[in-house]
Amino acid sequence: MELAGSNFEAALPHEHFKQVLKINTRPDGRDLSEFRKMTVNVGSIDTANGSALVQMGHTMVVCGVKAELTRPPASKPLEGLIIPNVELPPLCASHFKPGPPSDQAQIASQLLDSVLKTSGLIDLEKLCVFKDKLVWVLYCDLVCLSYDGNINDAIVMALVAALGNTKIPVIEYDEDSGAVKTVDEPPLNISAMIQKRLVSSTFSQFESTHIIADPSWKEERVTAGGITIVTDEHGVMCHLHRPGGFPLKDQVLQTCLKRAAENGKRLQAILSEVFGSEMVA
Protein backbone atom coordinates (compact mmCIF):
# COMPACT_ATOMS: atom_id res chain seq x y z
CA MET A 1 0.00 0.00 0.00
CA GLU A 2 1.46 3.34 -1.03
CA LEU A 3 1.69 6.27 1.33
CA ALA A 4 1.23 9.75 -0.08
CA GLY A 5 2.01 13.30 0.96
CA SER A 6 2.40 13.94 4.68
CA ASN A 7 1.71 10.27 5.55
CA PHE A 8 4.71 9.17 3.47
CA GLU A 9 6.89 11.82 5.08
CA ALA A 10 5.80 10.87 8.60
CA ALA A 11 6.23 7.13 8.11
CA LEU A 12 9.43 7.13 6.05
CA PRO A 13 11.10 10.55 6.41
CA HIS A 14 14.43 9.37 4.98
CA GLU A 15 12.87 7.89 1.86
CA HIS A 16 10.60 10.91 1.45
CA PHE A 17 13.58 13.26 1.54
CA LYS A 18 15.43 11.06 -0.94
CA GLN A 19 12.55 11.32 -3.39
CA VAL A 20 12.32 15.10 -2.94
CA LEU A 21 16.05 15.54 -3.63
CA LYS A 22 15.75 13.82 -7.01
CA ILE A 23 14.66 17.20 -8.39
CA ASN A 24 17.32 19.05 -6.34
CA THR A 25 14.67 20.92 -4.40
CA ARG A 26 14.05 20.68 -0.68
CA PRO A 27 10.68 20.28 1.06
CA ASP A 28 10.47 24.03 1.73
CA GLY A 29 11.30 24.89 -1.89
CA ARG A 30 14.90 26.00 -1.35
CA ASP A 31 17.85 24.95 -3.48
CA LEU A 32 20.35 22.69 -1.73
CA SER A 33 22.83 25.55 -1.29
CA GLU A 34 20.24 28.17 -0.29
CA PHE A 35 20.22 29.69 3.20
CA ARG A 36 17.09 31.08 4.79
CA LYS A 37 16.55 34.82 5.13
CA MET A 38 17.89 36.19 8.42
CA THR A 39 16.75 39.29 10.31
CA VAL A 40 18.47 40.92 13.29
CA ASN A 41 17.04 43.41 15.78
CA VAL A 42 18.98 44.80 18.74
CA GLY A 43 18.22 46.56 22.01
CA SER A 44 14.79 45.09 22.73
CA ILE A 45 15.52 43.98 26.34
CA ASP A 46 15.51 47.07 28.57
CA THR A 47 16.83 45.22 31.64
CA ALA A 48 19.95 43.94 29.86
CA ASN A 49 23.19 45.74 29.03
CA GLY A 50 22.74 44.58 25.47
CA SER A 51 20.45 42.30 23.48
CA ALA A 52 19.62 40.93 20.06
CA LEU A 53 16.79 38.99 18.45
CA VAL A 54 17.64 36.85 15.44
CA GLN A 55 15.12 35.14 13.17
CA MET A 56 16.09 32.69 10.46
CA GLY A 57 13.06 31.14 8.84
CA HIS A 58 11.09 29.67 11.73
CA THR A 59 14.16 29.48 14.00
CA MET A 60 14.26 32.40 16.44
CA VAL A 61 16.79 33.17 19.18
CA VAL A 62 17.07 36.02 21.67
CA CYS A 63 20.31 36.91 23.46
CA GLY A 64 20.56 39.13 26.54
CA VAL A 65 23.90 40.32 27.94
CA LYS A 66 24.27 41.14 31.63
CA ALA A 67 27.48 42.82 32.82
CA GLU A 68 28.79 42.26 36.35
CA LEU A 69 32.05 43.02 38.15
CA THR A 70 34.21 40.19 39.44
CA ARG A 71 37.77 39.30 40.41
CA PRO A 72 39.74 37.86 37.47
CA PRO A 73 41.27 34.37 37.59
CA ALA A 74 44.85 34.34 38.85
CA SER A 75 46.06 32.91 35.55
CA LYS A 76 44.68 35.88 33.57
CA PRO A 77 44.72 38.93 35.88
CA LEU A 78 44.19 41.40 33.02
CA GLU A 79 41.32 39.72 31.21
CA GLY A 80 37.58 40.00 31.60
CA LEU A 81 35.22 37.11 30.98
CA ILE A 82 32.43 36.29 28.53
CA ILE A 83 30.22 33.37 29.54
CA PRO A 84 27.61 32.13 27.03
CA ASN A 85 24.72 29.83 27.88
CA VAL A 86 22.19 28.43 25.40
CA GLU A 87 18.71 27.26 26.40
CA LEU A 88 16.43 25.11 24.26
CA PRO A 89 13.21 25.09 26.32
CA PRO A 90 10.09 23.03 25.57
CA LEU A 91 8.32 26.18 24.33
CA CYS A 92 10.56 26.33 21.25
CA ALA A 93 9.79 22.81 19.99
CA SER A 94 7.91 19.79 21.27
CA HIS A 95 10.93 17.46 21.17
CA PHE A 96 12.71 19.47 23.88
CA LYS A 97 11.66 18.36 27.35
CA PRO A 98 11.68 20.10 30.77
CA GLY A 99 14.62 19.39 33.04
CA PRO A 100 18.41 19.70 32.79
CA PRO A 101 19.91 21.21 29.62
CA SER A 102 19.74 18.82 26.68
CA ASP A 103 22.87 17.52 25.00
CA GLN A 104 22.15 19.80 22.05
CA ALA A 105 21.91 22.85 24.31
CA GLN A 106 25.21 21.98 25.97
CA ILE A 107 26.93 21.45 22.62
CA ALA A 108 25.58 24.82 21.42
CA SER A 109 26.95 26.55 24.54
CA GLN A 110 30.31 24.83 24.03
CA LEU A 111 30.37 26.03 20.41
CA LEU A 112 30.01 29.67 21.49
CA ASP A 113 32.56 29.24 24.27
CA SER A 114 35.07 27.75 21.80
CA VAL A 115 34.43 30.52 19.27
CA LEU A 116 35.04 33.17 21.94
CA LYS A 117 38.25 31.50 23.12
CA THR A 118 39.80 30.71 19.73
CA SER A 119 38.67 33.45 17.37
CA GLY A 120 39.77 36.64 19.14
CA LEU A 121 36.29 38.11 18.77
CA ILE A 122 36.83 40.58 21.64
CA ASP A 123 39.93 42.03 23.28
CA LEU A 124 39.28 40.74 26.81
CA GLU A 125 41.89 43.04 28.33
CA LYS A 126 39.60 45.99 27.59
CA LEU A 127 37.16 44.48 30.10
CA CYS A 128 39.74 44.91 32.87
CA VAL A 129 39.05 47.67 35.42
CA PHE A 130 42.06 47.08 37.69
CA LYS A 131 44.72 44.38 37.26
CA ASP A 132 44.21 41.32 39.44
CA LYS A 133 41.37 43.06 41.30
CA LEU A 134 38.40 43.86 39.12
CA VAL A 135 37.17 42.94 35.64
CA TRP A 136 33.85 42.81 33.83
CA VAL A 137 32.16 39.47 33.21
CA LEU A 138 29.53 39.43 30.47
CA TYR A 139 26.88 36.77 30.96
CA CYS A 140 25.34 36.03 27.56
CA ASP A 141 22.07 34.14 27.92
CA LEU A 142 20.64 32.83 24.66
CA VAL A 143 17.12 31.40 24.58
CA CYS A 144 15.58 29.71 21.56
CA LEU A 145 12.01 30.96 21.14
CA SER A 146 11.21 28.86 18.09
CA TYR A 147 13.21 25.92 16.71
CA ASP A 148 13.23 24.81 13.10
CA GLY A 149 16.79 23.56 12.71
CA ASN A 150 20.27 25.06 12.48
CA ILE A 151 20.48 26.65 15.91
CA ASN A 152 24.22 27.27 15.42
CA ASP A 153 24.00 30.04 12.82
CA ALA A 154 21.28 31.78 14.81
CA ILE A 155 23.19 31.74 18.14
CA VAL A 156 26.47 32.95 16.61
CA MET A 157 24.71 35.90 15.00
CA ALA A 158 22.67 36.60 18.17
CA LEU A 159 25.81 36.58 20.34
CA VAL A 160 27.81 38.88 18.05
CA ALA A 161 24.88 41.28 17.58
CA ALA A 162 24.05 41.38 21.31
CA LEU A 163 27.68 42.09 22.22
CA GLY A 164 27.75 44.81 19.59
CA ASN A 165 24.72 46.36 21.30
CA THR A 166 26.18 46.08 24.83
CA LYS A 167 27.20 49.10 26.91
CA ILE A 168 28.89 49.07 30.32
CA PRO A 169 29.43 51.97 32.74
CA VAL A 170 32.84 53.54 33.33
CA ILE A 171 34.16 52.37 36.71
CA GLU A 172 36.77 53.72 39.11
CA TYR A 173 38.37 51.39 41.65
CA ASP A 174 40.15 52.54 44.82
CA GLU A 175 42.87 49.99 45.52
CA ASP A 176 43.34 51.07 49.15
CA SER A 177 39.71 50.91 50.22
CA GLY A 178 38.40 48.52 47.60
CA ALA A 179 35.62 50.99 46.84
CA VAL A 180 33.98 50.93 43.41
CA LYS A 181 32.46 54.06 41.92
CA THR A 182 30.58 54.64 38.69
CA VAL A 183 31.98 57.62 36.81
CA ASP A 184 29.58 60.12 35.28
CA GLU A 185 30.79 59.57 31.74
CA PRO A 186 29.27 58.04 28.60
CA PRO A 187 29.23 54.22 28.90
CA LEU A 188 31.74 52.05 27.14
CA ASN A 189 30.53 50.40 23.94
CA ILE A 190 31.53 46.76 23.66
CA SER A 191 31.25 47.20 19.89
CA ALA A 192 34.51 49.15 20.00
CA MET A 193 36.22 46.10 21.56
CA ILE A 194 35.13 43.72 18.80
CA GLN A 195 38.16 42.74 16.74
CA LYS A 196 36.40 40.44 14.28
CA ARG A 197 32.84 40.40 12.99
CA LEU A 198 32.03 36.72 13.09
CA VAL A 199 29.23 34.90 11.29
CA SER A 200 28.64 31.21 10.74
CA SER A 201 27.35 28.87 8.04
CA THR A 202 26.10 25.37 8.81
CA PHE A 203 25.86 22.38 6.46
CA SER A 204 24.71 18.78 6.73
CA GLN A 205 25.15 15.85 4.39
CA PHE A 206 22.61 13.39 3.02
CA GLU A 207 23.82 9.92 1.99
CA SER A 208 27.30 11.29 1.14
CA THR A 209 25.83 12.67 -2.11
CA HIS A 210 24.13 15.95 -1.18
CA ILE A 211 25.41 18.93 0.82
CA ILE A 212 22.52 20.68 2.53
CA ALA A 213 22.99 24.33 3.55
CA ASP A 214 21.16 25.66 6.61
CA PRO A 215 19.21 22.46 7.41
CA SER A 216 15.69 22.73 8.78
CA TRP A 217 14.53 20.51 11.64
CA LYS A 218 13.02 17.97 9.23
CA GLU A 219 16.31 17.86 7.34
CA GLU A 220 18.38 17.50 10.51
CA ARG A 221 16.45 14.33 11.34
CA VAL A 222 17.42 12.58 8.11
CA THR A 223 20.90 13.95 7.40
CA ALA A 224 24.17 12.71 8.86
CA GLY A 225 25.77 15.14 11.26
CA GLY A 226 27.09 18.42 9.95
CA ILE A 227 29.64 21.19 10.26
CA THR A 228 29.50 24.85 11.22
CA ILE A 229 32.09 27.16 9.65
CA VAL A 230 32.70 30.49 11.40
CA THR A 231 34.19 33.21 9.21
CA ASP A 232 35.22 36.83 9.75
CA GLU A 233 34.52 39.95 7.70
CA HIS A 234 37.27 38.95 5.24
CA GLY A 235 35.80 35.51 4.64
CA VAL A 236 38.63 33.83 6.56
CA MET A 237 37.67 30.73 8.55
CA CYS A 238 38.13 31.36 12.29
CA HIS A 239 36.55 28.23 13.70
CA LEU A 240 35.36 24.84 12.47
CA HIS A 241 32.76 23.03 14.55
CA ARG A 242 32.29 19.35 13.76
CA PRO A 243 30.40 17.60 16.58
CA GLY A 244 31.49 14.02 17.16
CA GLY A 245 34.26 14.33 14.58
CA PHE A 246 31.79 14.00 11.70
CA PRO A 247 33.88 12.71 8.74
CA LEU A 248 33.99 14.81 5.59
CA LYS A 249 35.90 14.21 2.39
CA ASP A 250 38.29 17.01 1.50
CA GLN A 251 36.33 17.89 -1.64
CA VAL A 252 33.12 18.22 0.38
CA LEU A 253 34.86 20.38 2.97
CA GLN A 254 36.25 22.66 0.26
CA THR A 255 32.76 23.07 -1.20
CA CYS A 256 31.40 23.98 2.22
CA LEU A 257 34.21 26.49 2.79
CA LYS A 258 33.44 28.17 -0.53
CA ARG A 259 29.72 28.39 0.20
CA ALA A 260 30.42 29.64 3.74
CA ALA A 261 32.52 32.49 2.36
CA GLU A 262 29.69 33.44 -0.02
CA ASN A 263 27.03 33.24 2.69
CA GLY A 264 29.31 35.18 5.03
CA LYS A 265 29.14 38.20 2.72
CA ARG A 266 25.36 38.21 3.01
CA LEU A 267 25.47 37.97 6.81
CA GLN A 268 28.17 40.64 7.08
CA ALA A 269 25.90 42.97 5.10
CA ILE A 270 23.19 42.40 7.73
CA LEU A 271 25.59 43.32 10.54
CA SER A 272 26.66 46.44 8.63
CA GLU A 273 23.04 47.46 8.17
CA VAL A 274 22.32 47.01 11.90
CA PHE A 275 25.48 48.63 13.30
CA GLY A 276 26.90 50.79 10.55
CA SER A 277 30.32 52.02 11.65
CA GLU A 278 29.65 51.31 15.35
CA MET A 279 31.04 47.80 15.28
CA VAL A 280 34.77 48.00 14.78
CA ALA A 281 36.36 45.17 12.86
Q: Which pTM was predicted?
A: 0.92
In the chain, where are the structural domains located?
Answer: 28-275
* Residue 1 pLDDT greater than 50, yes or no: no
CA angle, corner 240, sides to 157 and 94, nearest 5? 55
Q: Picking from 22-36, 104-118, 220-234, 259-273, which range would have the lowest pLDDT averaged per residue?
A: 22-36
- The lowest-confidence range among 16-20, 118-122, 250-254 is 16-20
Q: What is the pLDDT of residue 154?
A: 98
Quote the pLDDT of residue 20.
Answer: 66
With a cut of 60, say whether residue 265 has pLDDT above it: yes
38 vs 205: which has the higher pLDDT:
38
pLDDT tens figures, 95-141: 999 999 999 999 999 999 999 999 999 999 999 999 999 999 999 99
Question: Does residue 85 register a pLDDT over 60?
Answer: yes
Q: What is the pLDDT of residue 3?
A: 39
Percent of the chain with pLDDT over 90: 70
Domain 28-275 sits in CATH 3.30.230.70: yes
Mean pLDDT computed over every residue of the chain: 89
